[in-house]
Amino acid sequence: MTNKEWDNLLAVVNGESVNEKAIGFIIDSPWLPGWAGVTTLDYYTSDEIWLKSNLKAVDAFPDVTFLPGFWSEYGMCTEPSAFGARLIWYNENLPYAEKVIHTSADISNLLQPNVRRDGMLPFMINRLKNLEPRIAESGHSIKFAVVRGPLNIATFLMGTTEFMMLLATDPHKAHELLGKITTFICDWIDYQKECFPSIEGIFLLDDIVGFLGKEECLEFVIPYLKKAFGAFPAKIRFFHNDAYGLVCASFLKEMGINLFNFSFEHPINLIRELAGSEVTLIGNLAPRDILAAGTPSEVYSATMTMIKNVSDRRRIIWSCGGGVPQNVSSENLNAFISAVKDSS
């Protein structure tokens, strides 16, 4: 992300900008390798290919702020690897982390990760350290510490069904697990900030929040996300939940969140009503069914409709309801950009 992009993003989030045509997309390994014409495994294992893929994207779409920007990641395996998960790799598809918690008794024996040495975390940091001079030469810098959320990581470690059952049947153990994971999250955020002082934002992703009701959200989400987003005084606290987002929308400000990416199934006006005027919203075109599967004309038309239906366009960054999925073409992204530019 360039300094200009960061300043513009900060202005929108702080309500200082009247720019109603800001565009931002979350991009990582589901989209970038295929779009750049490389395999997923090459994208993960070659720093050179990783860098060239990211540079290709920012050069191809100068009107878009890509978030979080030069994301050093290994798909959903990143955080589970620090807890000792066995990682399964594929040439063309995303990797998979096997469970490490098989019974609730395993939670007490789960070791607290050392973020400086465990799993894939040192590889993520070293990739950025090695390439930071070239990222800087391109006019960009590392602005976000990035991490999956506590419930999201919990489901990787023990399975989604098993974790949801744990919340209902043994809340004490659930809190023990979430406490360990949140401590890890804060350590990991702090270490990223230590390694890269240019970091001024936190980007946290947790779709599992959308599977909970209000009471569960109050007990199992708010205290842990509030702690995670308070790891350091970040200027932008960016939360992604493209599952059911209505349950958490009313609590975003309480958790310290000021930028929210949510499901395309929720109208922007409704999320604005629930979240309040101080939270910036980023979304929310259907990512798979429209942005990926639609024709350029369909993307253009749907984007125009999305914008037209929003009554208050302040603190809005136009995007899709989630990250950019696999198989989104340049033509479709350009159709989206054109629609935003042509909107009135």
Q: What is the pLDDT along the chain (344 residues), one digit of tens a residue?
A: 999 999 999 999 999 977 779 999 999 999 999 999 999 999 999 999 999 999 999 999 999 999 999 999 999 999 999 999 999 999 999 999 999 999 999 999 999 999 999 999 999 999 999 999 999 999 999 999 999 999 999 999 999 999 999 999 999 999 999 999 999 999 999 999 999 999 999 999 999 999 999 999 999 999 999 999 999 999 999 999 999 889 999 999 999 999 999 999 999 999 999 999 999 999 999 999 999 999 999 999 999 999 999 999 999 999 999 999 999 999 999 999 999 999 98
Residues 332 and 301: their CA atoms lie apart, in Å, by 11
Q: Which residue has the tokens 């995007």?
A: 319
Residues 147 and 178: their CA atoms lie apart, in Å, by 14
Residues 228 and 186: their CA atoms lie apart, in Å, by 6
**How is the chain split among helix, strand and coil, in percent rounded to 5?**
50, 15, 35
Encoded tokens for 180 = 């360990």
CATH number of the domain residue 174 falls in: 3.20.20.210
Domain span holding position 197 = 3-342
State how far the alpha carbon of 171 is from the alpha carbons of 163, 186, 247, 322, in Å: 10, 22, 19, 30
State the total domains in the chain: 1
Residues 237 and 259: their CA atoms lie apart, in Å, by 6
Query: Which positions ≥6 away from 166 have C-beta within 8 Å?
Result: 104, 158, 173, 174, 177
Task: Read off the pTM.
Answer: 0.97
**Burial class, 27, CB count within 10 angstroms (exposed 0-12 / middle 13-18 / buried 19+):** buried
